[in-house]
Chain A
Amino acid sequence: MLEHLISGFGIALTPANLLFAFAGALLGTLVGALPGIGSTSGVALLLPLTFGMNPTSAIILLCGIYYGSMYGGTITSVLINTPGESATVVTTLDGYQMARQGRAGAALGIATGGSFFAGTVGTAALMIVAPSLARAALAFGPPEYFALTVLGLSLLTGLTSGSPLKAAISAILGLLVATVGLDVMTGMPRFTFGLPDLFSGFDFLPVSIALFGFTEILSGADGAAPPSTRLSIRDTFPSARDWVQARWPIVRGTILGFFIGTLPGAGATLASFLAYAAEKRIARDPDRFGRGAVEGVAAPEAANNAAAAGALVPLLTLGLPGGTTTAVLAGALVMWGLRPGPTLFQDNPDFAWGLIASMYVGNVMLVLLNVLMIPVFVRALRVPYSVLAPAILVLCLVGAYAANNRMWDVGVMLAFGGVGVGMRVLGYSPAAFITALVLGPLAENAFRQSMQIAEGNAMIFLTRPISAALLAVAAAALAAPAFVRRR
């Protein structure tokens, strides 16, 4: 393996490939920071740049974009409470609060450090444990996926610091919104009221832009202060105390994120939400979460970057794209005449090991790029609110449109902006709502597929060991707060 890796570094460290890794990280960061343009759209939009390139250089560029976009989404999440990427929605909860306290640089620094650690460890894990992990991921059938989503939903009340009842209502509303559209199993329309635009349901991105970015601007006008503009060099980077607080959340987020990333269909968004909820659940002082807790940035950022590396495991070892971005990458591989799967490492060792080595190099590029750029990003907060707010409104408008290239989503963004303001004023939880919106379709499809397999017998969830264990953990997570209160 070491011999292959050295040869991979020989390929990745050529001047041309170093330039592609840097260009990919830079383009990815810029694309990821634009609301509405996630990693999938970013990779797909920039795929034509690779036409005519040799496959190794091309995949180095695309993976740089993939990684960079994960980090780019964090920038707007922290600075203006507008997630550029679905996997960074949860970063807004504490990252933006840190920015409001004049600690945007610390939040971005922790995110960069966490992302670098997770990306590097994720790549090492990809190299070492990929084949066995890919086989384990295949043991996940619909009952296990359902149990995993139930676990995610059971941790939802942990996302909020307000009333658990209102968090539950927010989650139910998110699940309801997720049911809108054509039923995937029967093709029957649900809650579409004859409107063709509703057949595909509500897209996640316009809704999240509405509930976080758009609502933030309106709430800023409704009484809350705009982000702090106080800034000194000391505030630009995380302190030693921040790193001490963040170190274990980064490690836990990396492990959780990598594992969830290897599960086809689960993805970085689920990984980041679960990492955040888990950190809050185990924290000694969970009340700090949602008010600028460093751990609330460190864990989800590590998780989403580790998940990005994890998502390459089923692609490279089994030929199965785990998510939409890796599906685009799989398409690119086929376009270049390569076959992703078990024989990739044997048939095209230069490509496979060059890619792995370039992921290490790309991570270093990304950390250098972002450390240098943090002061520039943070200074953006010095722009007066009267200029910044309209610019963010325009970003929300374009981001909502660009999600699917249709004006309908702009209307959806406006409507959910109103819902978001109402939720904030009344103490309901946008975070619980958006998590349920993400997990809803996964949970429902997995539940119905499981029941179909078991011919209507719900015992299938308890007779399969992984599913039963995950459901037991979910039940414990739900019961724990009541048990603690009683004691």
Chain B
Amino acid sequence: MNADRAAGVLLVALGIFVIFQASRLPYWVDRSPGPGFLPLWLGVALAVCAATVLMRSAVTVPPTPEPSATVEVRARRRSVAVALTLFTAVAAALVPFIGFVASTAVLTAAAAWWLDPHRRAAIAAAALLTPALVWLIFVRWLSIPLP
């Protein structure tokens, strides 16, 4: 199944789910549209548009396979994207335990190391300077209560 088709299936399912949920909300209240009015019609529109995407993807010729070198580069870069997301999620999860500023130090160090492990001095500088600036600007200057 190609990506367009998978997205189409997912969006049709989402549209049906929205219609189901919206139908449980009042459609009309005091001679005017209720909280269920807009979501219901949005669900219908989403399901119809997504079904159109699905039908188009069924009749579209699939693209020719990419050269293996391109696929490898893409796979490597995708792994970096996943790693950066993971580091950010871990840093967010660490906030209740080590605080926001220390979490940003962890995130900076981990992400900089993953992207280029050879720049050790730059990694160390970034890991120290970034949280210091966060603390200085957001906590000291703007008085934002970072946890």
Contact = CB atoms under 8 A, between A and B. Distances in A.
A149 to B, nearest CB: 12
B145 interface: yes
Interface string B7-28: 1000100000010010001101
B89 A414 contact: yes
A175 B42 contact: yes
A179 interface: yes
A402 B147 CA distance: 11
Interface centre among B29, B56, B73 (most CB of A within 10 A): B29
A222 B119 CA distance: 21
A50 to B, nearest CB: 15
B136 to A, nearest CB: 12
Contacts of A401: 100, 146
A199 to B, nearest CB: 13
Contacts, number: 170
B92 A397 contact: yes
B84 A407 contact: no
A393 B107 contact: yes
A411 B43 CA distance: 25
B49 A397 contact: no
Contacts of B116: 384, 386
A214 B91 CA distance: 14
Contact of A405 (B49, B134, B144): B144
Interface centre among A175, A398, A447 (most CB of B within 10 A): A398
A168 B47 CA distance: 12
Binding site secondary structure of chain A: helix
Nearest to B115: A386
Interface string A367-403: 0000000000000000011110111011011100110
A339 to B, nearest CB: 29
A445 to B, nearest CB: 10
B1 to A, nearest CB: 13
A355 to B, nearest CB: 25
Interface stretch (A104-112, A121-129, A323-331, A450-458): A450-458
A261 interface: no
A221 B76 CA distance: 9
A452 B39 contact: no
A444 B38 contact: yes
A142 to B, nearest CB: 11
A45 B53 contact: no
B141 to A, nearest CB: 9
Contacts of A447: 33, 38
Contacts of B98: none
B34 A45 contact: no
A294 interface: no
Binding site secondary structure of chain B: helix
A426 interface: yes
B45 A397 contact: no
Nearest to B129: A391
A338 interface: no
B53 A414 contact: no
Contact of A166 (B53, B103, B119): B53
B146 to A, nearest CB: 7
Contact of B104 (A214, A397, A417): A397
Interface string A29-46: 001001001000000010
Interface centre among B39, B143, B147 (most CB of A within 10 A): B39
A76 B7 CA distance: 31
A386 B112 contact: yes
B26 A390 contact: no
B53 A37 contact: no
A176 B18 contact: yes
Contacts of A426: 3-4, 7
A186 B84 contact: no
A398 B100 contact: yes
Interface in B98-147: 100, 103-104, 107-112, 115-116, 119, 122-123, 126, 130-131, 134, 137-138, 142-147
Contacts of A31: 142
A45 B142 contact: yes
Contacts of A34: 137-138
A387 B126 contact: yes
A51 B145 CA distance: 21
Interface centre among A391, A417, A425 (most CB of B within 10 A): A391
The 6 closest A-B pairs by CB, nearest first: A386-B116, A386-B115, A390-B111, A183-B35, A221-B80, A451-B32
Given A175-B42, A386-B123, 4 more contacts: A165-B52, A190-B35, A394-B107, A447-B38
17 contacts: A34-B138, A172-B46, A175-B38, A175-B42, A185-B35, A186-B35, A188-B35, A221-B84, A221-B115, A389-B111, A389-B112, A390-B126, A407-B147, A417-B85, A418-B85, A426-B7, A428-B7
